[in-house]
Amino acid sequence: MKNILFAAAEAVPFIKTGGLADVTGSLPFAFSPDEYDVRVILPCYTSIPAPLREAMRDVTHFDVQFNGRSRYLGIRELTHRGLHFYFIDNEDYFGGPAPYTDYMYDIEKFCFFSFAVLAALPHIDFRPDLIHCHDWHTGLIPPYLATQFRYDSFFDGIRTVFTIHNLKFQGICGRDELRAISGLPADLFAQGPLCSGSCGNMMQGALYYADLVTTVSRTYAQEICTPEYGEGLDRFFAQRTGRFFGIVNGIDNRVFDPASDPALKRHYDVSHVKAGKAAAKAALQKELGLEPDPEALLLAIVSRLTDQKGMDLVLPLLEKITGGPCQLVVLGTGEKRYEESFRRMADARPEKMAVKTLYDEALSHRIYAAADAFLMPSLFEPCGLSQLIALRYGTLPIVRATGGLKDTVRSLDKEGQNATGFVFENYDVGGLNWALDLAIKTFFADRKTWEKMRRNAMREDFSWNRSAEEYSRLYRQLLP
């Protein structure tokens, strides 16, 4: 039995702002309990829902020296679905209505979190053989382990894996500021592992000191070795051949299951996908005030409304989408210009387009079930979970060939009868327009192929079990 500790800034059901929480709140459950004891450690945000906070048990508390002051470090614990979750408690850092607040203060709070994770370990009844760190918020755990904590025999032999969920966010601030806040040795910042010019970089420290580095799809692992996608760190990945891997994320098949989803009035599986989705479409059209048209091609967007998600490609095609035989449903929040543009079109053609600029988990499930196709023309996409959910519900993704989208969606034009969606190459309106035209043509002129593609999509296995087995193979390299 090997002990694995996941360290992350968020995890469902405790706190969520994005896909990171879905990964760290689901993947730990997929490992074989005969081989691994997997536990998770998180900040104890005051914004965690009250019922969950009230169910936590206080383990211990003590003071630590951090950033020139004595700081309170509390440890709390909760067993959720049979898995142990630990929480680092300090209301000065983790108070407030949201997990992320002011950027420079976020740098300090996650420096403290990285330090506190290691400081807490001797005080809980669990010594990890390996700490699996997730994204820049935990980027200083490997450097701390290699420096300040290496003199304590308790930490001898603890290995680290660092997973990049989105390279765009690295925990960057002034070099001198990061050195002062973290208390790490000065030589790490003198053009060293945590230094890039005049900047300090938390993620860069993890890339240097972690035993293995992963990211969340094979294609994204290749892309970020190039200057175009590498966000200034491409040289680090190019130098780490043999220590850098891409593993596609998964989804929780219990949560996203059209055969049992409590958000749906009528359930369906792959054998009844046609009737099930027809019922879901009729119900959603009624709910959102769209024209009750069973023959319309219902397109969906469930996303942050940002440039990264390809919204700048969608806007020029709104007239075409809503002026023809299609309908469009948009759920999400983001940049004001996109929210306003989508609302204006929906106001002009309410029978063709509905927009909800909010977060509504149950509504998102109803949209996945009702839609025929899912628009996700991302500029870059480390992995993406939305297309995996869409496939699970028999909704065919229209995506660009980047990152995890390329790894998980097989295009009709390339794979023929094994296709699960529509994939275009170049990031421009013409590319998305081509894929949209192919989807429209297939839906209206070749329904037999469309129905086969839907069944193909629902038979795909993107459960966490497959991802967990790939991570297990990496763990075994470090923990023979």
Residues 418-471 have pLDDT tens digits of 999 999 999 999 999 999 999 999 999 999 999 999 999 999 999 999 999 999
Integer Cα distance of 169 and 105 in angstroms: 15
Measured N-to-C along each axis, helices 103-120 and 175-182 cross at an angle, to the nearest 10 degrees, of 30
- What is the longest distance spanned by two Cα atoms in the chain? 70
The tens digit of pLDDT for each residue in 118-136 reads 999 999 999 999 999 999 9
What is the arithmetic mean of pLDDT over 86-107?
A: 93
pLDDT score of 245: 95
Q: What is the mean pLDDT of residues 328-339?
A: 96
* 270-461 shares the fold of 2-250+465-478: yes
Average pLDDT for 91-102: 92
Residue 117: is its pLDDT beyond 70?
yes
Long-range contacts (CB closer than 8 Å, 24 or more residues apart) made by 418-421: 418/456, 419/449, 419/453, 419/456, 420/391, 420/396, 420/453, 420/456, 420/457, 420/460, 421/373, 421/387, 421/391, 421/396, 421/397, 421/453, 421/457
The architecture in CATH of the region 2-250+465-478 reads 3-Layer(aba) Sandwich (3.40)
The arithmetic mean of pLDDT across residues 44-71, rounded, is 96
Q: Among residues of the chain, what percentage have pLDDT more than 90?
A: 92
Question: Pick from 87, 80, 94, 86: which is nearest to 26 by CA?
Answer: 80
pLDDT tens, 159-171? 999 999 999 999 9
Mean pLDDT value across residues 382-404 = 97
CB 113 within 8 A of CB 93: yes
| pLDDT score of 415 | 60
Which residues share a beta bridge with 7? 41, 133
- What are the boundaries of each domain within the chain? 2-250+465-478, 270-461
Mean pLDDT of all residues in the chain? 95
72 CB-near residues (< 8 Å, 6+ apart): 61, 63, 89, 90, 92
The CATH number of 270-461, from 3.30.930.10, 3.40.50.2000, 3.40.50.300, 3.20.20.60, is: 3.40.50.2000
Q: Are 110 and 169 in contact (CB under 8 A)?
A: no
Helical packing angle, 447-459 and 429-445, nearest 10°: 110
pLDDT digits (tens, 9 = 90+) for 302-331: 999 999 999 999 999 999 999 999 999 999
